[in-house]
Structure 1
């Protein structure tokens, strides 16, 4: 292994872990406050979540997502020559739509929700804000 390839590997590793942080650092507090503080009453009315959420399982879920989303970024944008912000917003749009499909659509389809419209609005809003923040941060973490 040459010094150049070792340095590239360590940079890729650093970028990967920065990407993990770019997902986890905003997502956990946003998810916590969105679901358990700011809109707690609305979610309680929907009767979809546990009365006593298990925070550690939510954090574990986010950690798995962070690993996968950070791994995916350089594979979806291997040599993006545009602006970092533009790449991040595009990545946020793509991954946000993917996330929305299984966190909003699939949940609404499978779970008894007090109001599907209210649930869809709340979760669509959450996913939009989440990936509006995470997308650009992921692009910054992985920039060359």
Structure 2
């Protein structure tokens, strides 16, 4: 197995594991009451969440080496993760709050916004470390 393929697979599974742990703890334990008030299902459809995570893991692992700069792996990963978190969060926070009757918008936006930034900052940093140093973006 080539080094690029191995790094892709490690980045893919790192995203899945970290996201599963962080998202489960955040949504189903720490802030469960807030999300229940916002209309979260009592029994979440986990298969849809897992499918979403599989797609995101593929895209994060695929896109990172194409967008990374020549800086340190952790910093390049963090920048990429925050950028992706802002992109994903623009829908997962703002559009969702605008479309659904979630109750108090402020606490939802603050909590879910913090989740997206935290989750993607962590996974971006780890993906940066998985890929390590390399030349700037591959084309």
Tell me the distance in 2 between the aligned counterparts of 1:25 and 1:51: 23
Q: After TM superposition, give the deviation of residue 86 of structure 1 in Å.
A: 1.3
Query: Is residue 66 of structure 2 the alignment partner of residue 75 of structure 1?
Result: yes
2:57 counterpart of 1:54: no
Q: 1:16 aligns with which of 8, 25, 31?
A: 8
The Cα of 1:81 is off from its aligned counterpart by 2.2
TM-score (norm 1): 0.86
Q: In the alignment, does 2:131 pair up with 1:139?
A: no
Q: Is 1:65 aligned to residue 38 of structure 2?
A: no
8 Å CA contact 2:74, 2:125 repeated in 1: yes
Matched, 1:113 2:102: yes
Matched with 1:87 is: 76
C-alpha separation in 1, matches of 2:85 and 2:105: 20
RMSD value, Cα: 1.3
- Between the two proteins, the alignment pairs up a number of residues equal to 133
Q: Which residue of 1 aligns with 2:93?
A: 104
Task: String of CA shifts for 1:51-109, please: whole Å, max 9, x gaps.
Answer: 210122211110111001111101112xx321112101111121111111121111111
Separation in 2 of the partners of 1:40 and 1:94?
Answer: 26
Matching of residues 27-38 of structure 1 within 5 Å: 27-38=19-30
TM-score, reference length from structure 2: 0.89
CA distance in 1 between counterparts of 2:67 and 2:125 reads 14
Segments of 5+ residues of structure 1 without an aligned counterpart are 1-6
Deviation at 1:13, TM superposition (A): 0.9
User: Which ranges of 4 or more aligned residues in structure 1 deviate by more than 3 Å?
Assistant: none
